[in-house]
Structure 1
Amino acid sequence: MLSLVLAAAQPQTPDPAPDQPVAAEPAVLAAGHVDIGPRYVDDEWTLLIHDDAAQPVWRDPDRTVLQVTDAAVQTVPDDPVYGFLGVPAGTPVHVVPQVQHPDVVWVGWNTQDPQVMQTIDRGVTLELAGVDGPGEVTMYLQAGTFSEPQVLWSSAEPPGQPMWVEVNTHTHANWVFTAPGVYLLAVRVSADLISGEQVSATRHLRFAVGDATDPDEALAAQPGELAESQQAAAPDTGGAGADSGAGGTGPWLVTGLVVVAVGLAVALLVVVLRNRAVRRRVEQERVQS
């Protein structure tokens, strides 16, 4: 079942150094500590992934896959406080935990890049700008065994869901994926600078969830194309259930169209007959006069 864990708001990991490079090569990160966070690259504001798994380095989200292996599988507890996950109790889900698991990539966020700390005014705003994937994604904090979960982001909600992050913050949360497959999470990071300037950047985090999911597929995925390919790959369940969806053309939709057409025809006939009766009455009045 999902672990009820103590908060890990300030993990004891080294702060990013000002001269840490941005790696050029692609990478698949399946374990170890990583953070997403704002960074300046050639004096341009952006969002990168800070990788502490080996030699600390920043990585480009477009060239980095966060692989969530089956070591992350847990089951949803039989507890109504987890109803926000949108799946029944006992359902297996992949969980990137709030507290580090040695065999699962540990994803958090930080605002500790030295140049970022020197230029932003108080903090930044992180937003979930969109999600492409085969299931739902939820990120939440849980402060202790008897505390209810605090949902930060949910793909079941409209895009946005702003989260304020103060300067010099380093935090981890629980990330829950309800189905295996490739996910692209569009994350926007915005800030007011002490100069008065406003900056913003949106990047896509690439998750390959489940041992059977190919990280190369996540690396090559494009947001629009991913949504289309996963829709095309969805199994055809057939029968009335498949035809009765919002975009379907099944029997219920056909029946509805027939009813509407018959109703219009009856209404038109009534109008025609009424007009004829009016004309006859007018002609009779003329004859009598």
Structure 2
Amino acid sequence: MRKPLRLLLGSGILAAALLGAAVPAQATDTVVLGAGHVDVVDLAYEDGVLEIGVHDETVEPDVEREVDDVVFLVKKAAKIAVPDDPAFGFLGSPGKPVWVLPEIQNEDLLWPGIATEEIENGVFAADSVTLKFEKVTGAGRVAIFTENAVGAPNVLVNSGDGLPDALPLATGTHQHASWAFQKAGVHLIKVSATAELAATGQSVTSAPVVYKFVVQP
């Protein structure tokens, strides 16, 4: 069962993350991840169920975690100015602050991946699964984007122009993108996944999950 936001706040977990303080020792069932490689979205299909989890590679050996058990920390070091380029208008006004977890790894920050590596080819039609970003609530807008060789953005998800947004993914793959947050504070991102079974044409849909990102001011 997902922990209500008020309980996380009451326990000091999110407050500590916002302030850059240590997570309270009693919050042993919740992990705050703020640096290193993490497949934030880790898709799997097991025993007829499409599932969304977290693959944490910040520890050795790496572990699988439930989405409900993780708070993702976007450190103040992620804060940059929105470029003076109309192509980046989805991030906000030029010069305004935006917090970006970059597509290319910065070892001081969280490096968020999206993985379908646990899903074998041939399971789903066209070897494809669709990740649906259903809702974003909290401090501000959220966008996910990649950049090409010359730095032009390709926007994958943008809560600023309305949701849901559908992100098609090839199975058996792993990818990175930049995750951008418009404001400091707490952002809750509701996500689900759907696919069509190759053998029967039946549609399968995961249970929705809610990611908790805390952006330091």
TM bucket, shorter chain: 0.7 to 0.9
Deviation at 1:118, TM superposition (A): 6.0
Residue in structure 2 matched with residue 82 of structure 1 by the alignment: 88
Q: 1 CA distance for matches of 2:138 and 2:121?
A: 33
Q: After the TM superposition, which segments of 4 or more aligned residues of structure 1 sit over 3 Å from their partners?
A: 40-43
Pick the structure with more helix per residue: 1
Pair 1:62–1:118, CA change in 2 (3 A): farther
Pair 1:99–1:150, CA change in 2 (3 A): same
Pair 1:166–1:40, CA change in 2 (3 A): closer
Please tell me the residue identity of whatever aligns with 2:37. Answer: H
Aligned pairs for 1:190-269 (under 5 A) are 190-196=194-200, 197-201=202-206, 202-210=208-216
On the 8 A contact 1:37/1:110 being kept in 2, the answer is yes
Is residue 2:136 matched to residue 1:97?
no
Q: 1 CA distance for matches of 2:146 and 2:151?
A: 10
Is residue 2:183 matched to residue 1:179?
yes
Partner secondary structure for residue 207 of structure 1: strand
Task: Among all aligned residue pairs of Structure 1 and Structure 2, give the percentage whose two residues are the same amino acid.
Answer: 34
Q: 1 CA distance for matches of 2:164 and 2:97?
A: 27
Residue in structure 2 matched with residue 53 of structure 1 by the alignment: 58
On the 8 A contact 1:143/1:149 being kept in 2, the answer is yes
Please tell me the residue identity of whatever aligns with 1:137. Answer: V
The correspondence for 2:162, drawn from 138, 158, 161, is 158
Q: Deviations over 1:25-62 (max 9, x none)?
A: 42111111111121246653211111111121111111
Partner secondary structure for residue 77 of structure 2: helix
On the 8 A contact 2:90/2:160 being kept in 1, the answer is no
Q: Deviations over 1:48-102 (max 9, x none)?
A: 11111112111111111111111111111112221122x2211121101000111
Q: 2 CA distance for matches of 1:162 and 1:45?
A: 16
Please tell me the residue identity of whatever aligns with 2:31. Answer: A
Please tell me the residue identity of whatever aligns with 1:209. Answer: V
Please tell me the residue identity of whatever aligns with 2:71. Answer: V
Q: 1 CA distance for matches of 2:151 and 2:84?
A: 16
Residue in structure 2 matched with residue 130 of structure 1 by the alignment: 135
RMSD: 1.9
Residue in structure 2 matched with residue 66 of structure 1 by the alignment: 72
Q: Deviations over 1:117-157 (max 9, x none)?
A: 5633311001110001111111111012x242111101112
On the 8 A contact 1:136/1:155 being kept in 2, the answer is yes
Deviation at 1:168, TM superposition (A): 1.4
Give me the TM-score of the superposition, normalised by structure 2.
0.79
Q: 2 CA distance for matches of 1:29 and 1:200?
A: 27
Please tell me the residue identity of whatever aligns with 1:73. Answer: K
Give me the TM-score of the superposition, normalised by structure 1.
0.60
Pick the structure with more strand per residue: 2
On the 8 A contact 1:126/1:189 being kept in 2, the answer is yes
On the 8 A contact 1:111/1:117 being kept in 2, the answer is no
On the 8 A contact 2:49/2:204 being kept in 1, the answer is no
Structure 1 unaligned regions, length at least 5: 1-23, 213-289
Please tell me the residue identity of whatever aligns with 1:81. Answer: A
Q: Which has the larger radius of gyration?
A: 1
Residue in structure 1 matched with residue 5 of structure 2 by the alignment: none
Pair 1:92–1:108, CA change in 2 (3 A): same
Pair 1:33–1:150, CA change in 2 (3 A): same
